[in-house]
Structure formats: structure tokens, C-alpha cells
Chain A
Amino acid sequence: MPMLRKVKIHLKEVEKIIQTLPLVIKIKTISELNDALAILASHPHPLKGLELSMTDAIALEKKLSMQEISYLSILVDSEPKATSWRNFFLKNRIVEIFSPAEFFKPNLVPLLKGASRIVLTVKTEDDLENVPRYFSEMISIAQFPLIKGAPFCKIPMEHSYELYDQNNTQIKSKPTACAACLFTNNCPSAQGFLPIPLIDKNKFEDALRFLHHENTAARF
């Protein structure tokens, strides 16, 4: 059942589209919307939609209310307001929200109730300071906590967004400390973090097995 795997592309990457898989088109400017919608209209998979910034999403709110868009990936790019979200949370639509740590505050949580998943995006070690709080807030609204941007060694690995998104994960150059790590080919990054190489093969056997067979399009 390939439904969980999806292809996320920019408009210029249409050759990467796989007809049998869900499709998400990343639009960088509002002007790309119509072209993206045209491609989505002819895509046969029921799960299809857009990835765009929150600012653009708000500007395009009416167009995004189309039922044809069953998948909406919103990148928070400014302080979210209460009115920003409600209209996106439609029945039978997956809405994922990527929020940088700086915008993720406990008072945001009630506003996000209705999202399918909320992903905290981090860039530095400092961004991880409030991760335990983030986890408990996510649990309080029955959300599986996901973090994007953190190396596998800095968070419980199963909460790494990239773990399930290997196809779209760029493996950047790593500090020397990462050389012995079992996950050098899978972990998104260690720049900006103090890495602790994961070397216990027994402990990570099942995670490695999972990744070994994960060489398909992204799960999320």
C-alpha cells in the first residue's frame, strides 16, 4: 500500500512525478499557484496538494479552500495569529504545519488543534532547549511530536521528521565527530549542534532495519 509515500517537488521538477503516489508541489511565489493547480488537477492519486508559506497560504485562502487540495503543507514564516489557521483545517484534508522554534509557544498549541501534524523546525542546539516542553504540549493535543532539522543523536530518533523523509533529506557535510556514527548517511545535519555519534549497533538495530528498507519516496 504505497499511500503513505509521497513525492514533494518544485514546479520545475515535474519529471519526478510518480502517478501512483501522492503529490505535493512546493510553490515559492503566488504566481506559481495556477500552474501547480493545473498539474494537481490531472494527478490521479487522491492525496495531492501544495507546500507554501503561511503568508502565501493566508493570501490564497479562498483558492486553498478547494476540496481538490487534500494535502496542505504550511511553512510558518511569521508570528502566527488565531485567525490564520481555521479555514485551512477542512475535513478530509491533511494539513501539516512546520513551525520554527522561535514561533512555537505554548499559546500557539490551542490554535493548531485541527492540524494533522505539527513539525517543529530547529537550526541550532539552542532551539532544542524547549523540546521537552514541545513534546508535552504536542501530547496534550494528541499530536505525535516531530522535529525537523535536528541530528538523530540530539532527540529521540523516532521524532525526527527526516527519518521518514529520506528522499528529500539532504545529507550535509558532518563534523569529524560524526565519522563513526551509524547514521551518517541518513541523519540530516550536525552543523550548529554538538554531535554525539550513535555507535551501538544492538541498540539501533531496528532503526537501521527500518531505514535500510526506506529507500523509497518520502513517508511524510
Chain B
Amino acid sequence: MKILLLAFNVQEDIFPLGLRYLQAFANQHHPDVDVQIKEFSFGNRTAYATNKNIELQALSYIFLEKPDVVAFSCYIWSAQMIKDFARSIKSMNPAIKVLLGGVEVQESLLESSIDFIIQGEGEIAFKELVDFFKGLREKQDIHNIMYLANGVLKKGPTAFIENLDTIPIPFNNDEHIKYTVMRLETARGCAFDCSFCHYAIPPLRHFSLPYMEKSIAELFRSYEFSYLTILDGTFNSDINRMFAILDMVECEAKRKIKHIIIHCEMRPEMLDKEIVEKLQKYSFKMNIEFGLQSTHPEVLKAVKRYTNLSKVRENLALLDNSSINYKIDLMYGLPQDTFFRFLLSARFILDNAKKQHNLVAHHFMLLNNTDSLQHENVDRYTDATSGMVIRTETQDAFDIYKTKLFLDLINDELDVCKHIQRKN
């Protein structure tokens, strides 16, 4: 049996960690099955809108490779195109089984050209689907899947991998592929419950430290890379664990004499002087991303993100006097947000994040499968797939767009200042 795990991506030099997990887990149980990964990059979105060469390229690849199964990883930028692509595959060869998975999928994507949707964690479902294709398992016993039976939606039982260490380490590099950005997952789920975030969906579990140690060693042994992105919704939620993992990375980076930049996500209020001092001592550079999103209590309450702002202020001052780089983000268009509430949040950043040269704010994307979908009177641009919010109880499309324009206006000035300061 030949299975093609396929993804359409914007960038092509980022390690496909999710697909590697599926491949490794399936191969652990079915070493006889040929599971291949192939990514297609459309790079420039504008070019993609006016031609469909990438689809033609991928269809031709499938035509030549003749897989029995094609499984797609759907993310925010690819979910809309996948439905049409699935139809094209079935038109080319109806015998090919088509699977969809990834954080984006939900039952509205299900139609006759799609045989199965894997919802939630994919490893167990993917392995059990291979069981099913080989005649070793009944369809109704497959976990985390959805499918249509005579036009009726059927769902399998739900399962999570309780012990993450049972997933084989995904960092073998037999193909000698080069990636600029490698990804290292240290946990699944999150200690927090923010309604807009995918991290909050599954229960919180961690890979054990011995697993992390082997994983990090394998990663450094197998790949040349410049950036290491740590996938953990709140890396500093357990300080001892965070430092244990960073120590492992430091050890391997020194052994390989590698200059790398680590990117991770933290909560600013959970830092202190001692932590900041310790973080500065590593040989690698650290870029920390803080998702503040808003400073307004009504907005934070609406998205279940509770933040101690005085602590944030205090810790940003610590970071401003350190060698650590950080980026603190806001979102506009959140439930209960208004233009003035956003302005108050923006001013908090301008007044307190002195190291940051501009305001970073993202349009709130209402993601499939997140609690934010439950908000009443919130509408998004796209129907079945995740997309930008165009209306909330407190804002219309113009309110949201004007916030973006105001943001541009502020950043124009900040960019001019930054440019002149650099020149001088």
C-alpha cells in the first residue's frame, strides 16, 4: 500500500512536524506500508489567486506516483482549496482514497469526494485507517474520524494519546532535506483556556524529559537549520521543565557548534528577574513571542484570557534591560473589542514595550474547532473554513478595517523613526 501525505504550504523550508508524526506512528505499526510526504508551496498568494499551477503540479504528481491513499494536512491557508482538489483527484482516479486532517477540518468539509476526515490528533486515527484499509479493523472502531455513509454523517469514538512518548521521534533525515526552520513539540494542549486558540482544544500532556533529550539529540544530529521553533502554547508555564529543555538544546548546540535562534511562546506575567537573567546566559539567541491580544478587561473576559497587566508591565521593563528579543502581539476584531479599547491596548504596548519598534496586531481569525465559534453575533469571511472576523457584537467590518488602517498609520511613523535611527 502506498500513502501520500500531502500539504500545500506558503513557505517550503519549514519542517513538516505533524506529517512526520503521522508517518512515524503509522510506520511503527505498519512497516510494510509506504508512507510518503510531499509538500507543495504556493509562496505568493497573489500569484496563486490568478492561476492554479500548483494544483496542476500536485495532480500530476499524484497521477505519476499512483498512491492508494492521499491524505491532506489542512491549515488555514489551504482548507478552502482542498475540497476542489479532492474532487479533482476523484475525477482523475475514483479508486484513490482521500483523507483530510489537520487543525482546520470540521464536518462541513465532508462531501462525496472525501472518504474520511480525521479530527483532533491524527496519529491513532491514521494508524487505524491503515488497519482498516488492510482489512484488520472495522470502520466504526476507528477513533477520531468522520465519514459519510449513504449521505449520513458518522463519527468514530474520540481518543487522545495519553502517553506522548509512544509517538516515535520524527527526526530521521534519510532524504537529507534541508530546512531553515525546525520545529520541536514539547507538549500538547495548554494550561490556559483562551477561546480563540487551537492549543486549548486537547487535554494538556507533555513529552517526558528523557524523550525530549533523545528527540533534541536526534534533531541536531540529522538536520542543519538556523531557527528552532518550540511548539508549546506557554513554554514558561513550568519553569523547571523549560530550563531543562533549553539546557538540552544548549548542550547539543554547543556540541555541534551551531548558531541558532530559538523561537517560543510565553506568558509575560509568568517571568521574573531570575528567569530573565538565566535566559540571557544561553549561547543561542532567543525570540520570545507574547500574545497579549488586548488589555481591556471586557475583551480579555470574552476570550477567557486573564492577564495580570501590572506584572506584564514590570516584566517588559526587565526584558527591555536584557539581551532577549521579544515581540508582544495584539489582536483586533476580538469579541467585545472596540476601536477605543484597541487604542488603549495599543498605548499599553507603546508605553511599555520599549524594545519593540512597532505595533504588532493581527486580525482576529475565527478558527474552526475553537470555543470562539460559540460567540453569538460573530461572523467571519469564510463559512466552512477558518477566516478573518468581519462582524462582532461591538464592531462591523468598517470598525475592524479602520483599526487596521490606524495601526498602519502608527507603524508608518515608527518605521520612519527606525529607518533614520539605523541610518545614523
A associates with B: yes
How distant is the Cα of A209 from the Cα of B295 in the complex, in angstroms?
13
**Interface segment, one of A25-33, A136-144, A165-173:** A136-144
CB-CB under 8 A for A4 and B410, given A93-B416, A213-B347: yes
Q: Are the C-beta atoms of A46 and B402 separated by less than 8 Å? A: no
Q: Are A206 and B340 in contact (CB under 8 A)?
A: yes
Instruction: List B contacts of A126 (CB < 8 A).
Output: none
Task: Number of B interface residues at 8 Å Cβ cutoff, please give it.
Answer: 31
Chain B's nearest CB lies how many Å from the CB of A71? 8
- Chain B residues within an 8 Å CB radius of A207: 340
A116–B412 CB distance below 8 A: yes
Q: Which residues of A contact B402 (CB under 8 A)?
A: 144-145, 158
Chain A contacts for B282, CB-based, 8 A: none
- Give the residues in chain A near B417, CB-CB below 8 Å: 3, 22, 45-47
Query: In the complex where A46-B417, A46-B421, A46-B424 touch, is A158 in contact with B340 (Cβ < 8 A)?
Result: yes
> Counting CB contacts under 8 A, is B353 at the interface?
yes
CB distance from B298 to the nearest CB of A (A): 9
B341 within 8 A of A: yes
Note all chain A residues with C-beta closer than 8 A to B420.
Answer: 46-47, 70, 92
Bound Cα distance from A158 to B353, whole angstroms: 24
Contacts of B136 in A (CB 8 A): none
Q: CB-CB < 8 A to B350: which residues of A?
A: 1, 3-4
* In-complex Cβ contact of B409 among A3, A45, A117 (8 A): A117
Q: How far is the CA of A144 from the CA of B401 in the complex (A)?
A: 9
Taking the complex as formed, is A94 at the interface, i.e. its CB lies under 8 A from any CB of chain B?
A: yes
Interface presence of B211 (CB below 8 A)? no
Please report which residues of chain B, range 393-419, place their CB below 8 angstroms from some CB of chain A when the two chains form the complex.
398, 401-402, 405-406, 408-410, 412-417, 419
Residues of B within 8 A of A209 (CB): 340, 344
Q: Does A210 sit within 8 A of B, measured CB to CB?
A: yes
For residue B338, CB closer than 8 A to chain A, the reply is yes
Assembled-state Cα–Cα distance A47/B414 (Å): 9
Q: Please provide the 7 A-B residue pairs with the shortest distance between their CB atoms, ordered closest to farther.
A: A46-B420, A206-B340, A144-B405, A1-B350, A46-B417, A92-B419, A158-B339
B contact set with A: CB distance below 8 Å = 296, 338-341, 343-344, 347, 350-351, 353-354, 356, 398, 401-402, 405-406, 408-410, 412-417, 419-421, 424
